[in-house]
């Protein structure tokens, strides 16, 4: 984005908003502030709006990549106003990476401001990998949240670290430990307070949980544990198993995948869904995005 020419700049409610050149959609660069200066990209259709608001939270540790920026554009062309935050310590946002710490409140602050750029107050959140935890955290006690798509993210960071250590992924283990500031043994609370298992009951919006059976980072067991936590808080969770092409899974579920128990096809997206792709790695497929699109259309329908 740094090489693009800014067309105009305006300020609104402590947001600095810059319009970027684009022929097919409206693209905005937004600077706002929490305890540190933060940055977000906005993609929205041309026209008056208001447009249904969608917050897309990237994964990784370097800010949005080409894939998330392409999603921002695609969803704007489909009629949504899409906010793509650069999480603190990443991309063009300042501060330090906190691994699902203050990032959740940063994203919530961004979501609350979307009506001033043409979005609806009601919104959905979509988070990928680390961004899944952040998106879910942003939706805590959010009366305007209509749904959260949680893709391939950890629900228990201590369990994730144990898995990385068990499989000899030393570089990844050390990176996460450095970011969190301690090992799980030295500071159990550092991991517990970040983990959705601890606070997912605070999210009243329906969840679409996307899990991969061959994920080397996040075990399906974490998703089964989150489903049980949601059920304990009174939510109904429908368990689904699909092939990477989106067809109903017909083979027996083995090893960690068996935690899903009995499963069926998709139900009403007003209830939580745990959707396991037993033969999938830590990646997405067109069928997964088709399912996310289906959920968004349901959650954000007028």
- Which residue, among 185, 167, 165, has the nearest Cα to 175 in the 3D structure? 165
pLDDT in tens, 132-146: 999 999 999 999 999
- Find all residues with CB under 8 Å of 204, minimum gap 6, and list them: 141, 142, 143, 145
Give the pLDDT score at 135: 99
- Which residue, among 288, 258, 294, has the nearest Cα to 275 in the 3D structure? 288
Give the pLDDT score at 13: 67
DSSP conformation letters of 63-106: ---HHHHHHHHHHHHTT-EEEEEE-TTSTT--S---SSSTHHHH
- Which residue, among 88, 29, 84, has the nearest Cα to 56 in the 3D structure? 84
- Which residue, among 26, 68, 59, 57, has the nearest Cα to 43 in the 3D structure? 26
Q: Where are the domains of the chain?
A: 8-299
pLDDT in tens, 69-118: 999 999 999 999 999 999 999 999 999 999 999 999 999 999 999 999 99
Distance (Å, rounded) from C-alpha 183 to C-alpha 225? 22
How many whole angstroms from its chain centre is CA 214?
Answer: 20
CB 266, CB 240: distance < 8 Å: yes
pLDDT in tens, 235-289: 999 999 999 999 999 999 999 999 999 999 999 999 999 999 999 999 999 999 9
Q: pTM to 2 decimals?
A: 0.95
Protein fold of 8-299: Rossmann fold (3.40.50)
Confidence band for 4, pLDDT divided at 50, 70 and 90: very low
pLDDT over 50 (residue 29): yes
The residue to which tokens 């919104």 are assigned = 123
CB 52, CB 81: distance < 8 Å: yes
Residues listed for the chain:
302
What kind and span of H or E run contains 295? helix 286-299
- Which residue, among 246, 288, 287, has the nearest Cα to 265 in the 3D structure? 246
For 12, the 3-state DSSP assignment is: strand
Bond into 50 cis (ω within 30): yes
Distance (Å, rounded) from C-alpha 72 to C-alpha 286? 16
Distance (Å, rounded) from C-alpha 206 to C-alpha 208? 7
| Token pair for 8 | 């105009």
pLDDT in tens, 144-202: 999 999 999 999 999 999 999 999 999 999 999 999 999 999 999 999 999 999 999 99
């Amino acid at each position: 984005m740094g090489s693009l020419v800014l067309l105009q700049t305006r300020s609104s409610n402590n947001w600095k908003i810059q319009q970027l050149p684009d022929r097919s959609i409206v693209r905005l660069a937004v600077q706002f502030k929490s305890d540190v200066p933060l940055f977000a990209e906005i993609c929205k259709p041309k026209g008056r709006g208001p447009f249904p608001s969608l917050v897309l939270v990237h994964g990784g540790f370097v800010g949005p990549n080409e894939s998330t920026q392409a999603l921002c554009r695609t969803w704007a062309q489909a009629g949504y106003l899409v906010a793509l935050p650069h999480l603190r310590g990443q991309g063009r946002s300042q501060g330090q990476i906190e691994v699902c710490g203050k990032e959740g409140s940063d994203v919530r602050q961004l979501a609350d401001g979307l009506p001033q750029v043409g979005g609806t107050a009601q919104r959905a959140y979509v988070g990928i990998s680390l961004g899944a935890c952040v998106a879910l955290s942003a939706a805590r006690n959010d009366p305007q949240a209509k749904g959260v798509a949680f893709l391939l993210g950890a629900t228990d960071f201590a369990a994730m670290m144990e898995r990385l250590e068990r499989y000899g992924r030393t570089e990844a283990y050390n990176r996460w430990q450095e970011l969190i500031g301690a090992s799980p043994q030295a500071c159990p609370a550092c991991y517990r307070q970040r983990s959705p298992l601890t606070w997912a009951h605070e999210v009243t919006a329906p969840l679409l949980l996307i899990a991969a059976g061959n994920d080397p980072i996040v075990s399906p067991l974490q998703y089964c544990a989150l489903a049980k936590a949601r059920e304990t808080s009174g939510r109904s969770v429908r368990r689904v198993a699909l092939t990477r092409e989106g067809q109903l899974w017909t083979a027996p579920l083995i090893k960690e995948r068996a935690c899903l128990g009995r499963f069926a096809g998709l139900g009403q997206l007003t209830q939580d869904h745990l959707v396991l792709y037993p033969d999938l790695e830590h990646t997405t497929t067109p069928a997964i995005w088709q399912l996310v699109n289906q959920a968004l259309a349901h959650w954000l329908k007028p």
